[in-house]
Amino acid sequence: MTSDAFIPFARPAIDAATIAAVGDVLASGWITSGPKVEALEARLSALFGGRRVCAFANGSATMEVALRLAGVAPGDEVITSPITWAATANAVLAVGARPVFVDIDPVTRNLDLAAVEAAVTSRTRALLPVYLAGLPVDMDWLYAIARRHALRVIEDAAQAIDARWNAKRIGAFGDLVSFSFQANKNITCAEGGCLVLDSVAETERAQRLRLQGVVRSGLDGMDVEEPGGKCNLSDVHAAIALGQLDQLAAITPRRAALAELYFELAEAHGWADLGIELPPRTRTHGAITNWHLFQVVLPADRIAGGRAAVMQALREHGIGSGVHYPALHLFTCHRRRGWHEGQLPHAERIGRSILTLPLFPTLREGDVERVAAALTTTCQRLLQ
């Protein structure tokens, strides 16, 4: 390893004011869901154009609750992407439904919406698109499919805070929109998330479902009409999220500037000649990414030792990297349900070749240059 400091692929930036705010919450004696959660929901509602917001302990529970709100039940099908975190499909399985994976667009790495429409059956109840690395799908096309087939849409926007479609912020429109504030997201509260929705009745039900389904009345009345879970957000976490929201306007352009530097260096180092594929550089139709991740697709089948060898070499250079994500349909639990190699060729190739490079607001330009140089020399050495 070089003497330079290790560069992780992601690093949260928590300022002194946020740390102090957490201390104030701890000193207050009210550390579970309370006034800070209410304040966070109000701030997020304003961010999303006045829509209703329900905060959760994580962005996985938001999707499961959204599926329940949408009436997805055992025997139903939900169409989703195979290039996503395990939680997306796990939420579908948790409500007893079947995830139906369709292939991705090899350029955007998001769902191929033509394949989505072809996969709709009489058992389909919802569409669950994933906005990989913060890049939305074609929202007009997505919702046109949903309208034609009378389907609910649960948007896995876990990575897409402050991303846009035709200048509209993701979450400011649509059906049920799920965000994550996990540690590596553009804004974080360590662990947390929120669900954005419109219906008063669905909002009230989401609030019940996040805390065991309990309904209170008066000083001592309590009832449970349907069982819920334990996924309410604490005021400690909400205080962190409020501090992060104060930084969002600076975070998004900073990430975009670092991504642009990667593109410039990729051209200078001849990544295309090495077979390294880049993400879309600018808007894709009306979609504008928030640059949650900067991901390249390696020519892994031509690299001695494959992607793992590249990751190990980068680590020896003091550089962290990540895999987001292997093709989900090839995990054992989905193979048991009939999925196998060869069904989704674009997802399978990208799933074994995609590599996440460091990108976070406090990353320095010199760090990006160091990453680009190390990836270049590594691929030159390992290419067969």
Model confidence pLDDT, tens digit, residues 183-229:
999 999 999 999 999 999 999 999 999 999 999 999 999 999 999 99
Structure tokens at 261: 């530097």
pLDDT at 262 > cutoff 70: yes
Residue 135 placed within a domain = yes
CB-based contacts of 191, cutoff 8 Å, min separation 6 = 57, 58, 181, 182, 183, 237
Place of tokens 């400690």: 236
Select from 280, 285, 288, 286 the least CA-distant residue to 263: 280
Listed range (2-16, 37-51, 239-253, 369-383) with the worst mean pLDDT? 2-16
Last residue of a domain, one of 187, 220, 245: 245
What is the CATH classification number for the domain harbouring 148?
3.40.640.10
Residue 4 placed within a domain = no
Do 84 and 219 share a domain, yes or no? Answer: yes
> Environment class of residue 382 by beta-carbon count within 10 Å: exposed (0-12), middle (13-18) or buried (19+)?
middle
Residue 2 placed within a domain = no
d(CA 298, CA 102): 22
* Domain that residue 351 falls in: 248-382
pLDDT, tens only, 223-251: 999 999 999 999 999 999 999 999 999 99
Residue 3 placed within a domain = no
pLDDT at 117 > cutoff 90: yes
Quick one: DSSP state of residue 330? G
Do 20 and 143 share a domain, yes or no? Answer: yes
Structure tokens at 128: 């669950």
Q: Say whether 185 is catalytic.
A: yes
Report the Cα–Cα distance between both ends of the chain, in Å, rounded.
Answer: 24
Do 266 and 146 share a domain, yes or no? Answer: no
Do 222 and 183 share a domain, yes or no? Answer: yes
Residue 60, H or E segment? helix 59-69
Q: Largest Cα–Cα distance in the chain?
A: 72
pLDDT at 21 > cutoff 70: yes
Do 147 and 286 share a domain, yes or no? Answer: no
SS3 content of the chain, % helix, strand, coil (to 5): 40, 20, 40
Q: Would you place residue 2 in the very low, low, confident or very high pLDDT band (cuts 50, 70, 90)?
A: very low
pLDDT at 3 > cutoff 60: no
Express as a percent the part of the chain with pLDDT over 70.
Answer: 99
Do 76 and 201 share a domain, yes or no? Answer: yes
Last residue of a domain, one of 245, 270, 286: 245
pLDDT, tens only, 307-330: 999 999 999 999 999 999 999 999
Q: Which of 36, 168, 185, 230 is catalytic?
A: 185
Do 100 and 202 share a domain, yes or no? Answer: yes
Contact criterion met (CB below 8 Å) for 145 and 118: no
Q: pTM for the full model?
A: 0.96
Cα angle 196-150-52, degrees, rounded to a multiple of 5: 15
> Cα-flanking dihedrals φ and ψ of residue 98, to 5°?
-110, 125
**Where would I find the beta strands (DSSP E) of 170-302?**
176-180, 193-197, 214-217, 221-224, 287-288, 294-297
pLDDT, tens only, 326-381: 999 999 999 999 999 999 999 999 999 999 999 999 999 999 999 999 999 999 99
Q: Would you place residue 384 in the very low, low, confident or very high pLDDT band (cuts 50, 70, 90)?
A: confident
What is the CATH classification number for the domain harbouring 348?
3.90.1150.10
pLDDT at 164 > cutoff 70: yes
CB-based contacts of 105, cutoff 8 Å, min separation 6 = 111, 112, 346
Last residue of a domain, one of 218, 245, 272: 245
Residue 225 placed within a domain = yes
* Per-residue pLDDT at 330: 98
d(CA 53, CA 211): 15
Contact criterion met (CB below 8 Å) for 154 and 128: yes
Do 207 and 265 share a domain, yes or no? Answer: no
Residue 8 placed within a domain = no
CB-based contacts of 49, cutoff 8 Å, min separation 6 = 169, 172, 173
Per the structure, the count of domains in the chain is 2
CB-based contacts of 356, cutoff 8 Å, min separation 6 = 9, 293, 294, 295, 321, 322, 323, 324
Q: What is the mean pLDDT of the chain?
A: 97
Is the four-CA dihedral 316, 362, 371, 352 of positive or negative sign? positive
What CA–CA distances, in Å, run from 253 to 162, 183, 258, 272, 369? 10, 20, 9, 26, 19
Do 158 and 300 share a domain, yes or no? Answer: no
Taking the CB of residue 246, how many other CB atoms lie within 10 A of it? Answer: 13
Do 259 and 318 share a domain, yes or no? Answer: yes
d(CA 200, CA 204): 6
Residue 7 placed within a domain = no
Cα angle 293-299-304, degrees, rounded to a multiple of 5: 115
Structure tokens at 119: 């996969």
d(CA 295, CA 104): 15
* Per-residue pLDDT at 4: 74
Do 292 and 198 share a domain, yes or no? Answer: no
Do 41 and 155 share a domain, yes or no? Answer: yes
* Per-residue pLDDT at 282: 76
pLDDT, tens only, 72-83: 999 999 999 999
Residue 59 placed within a domain = yes
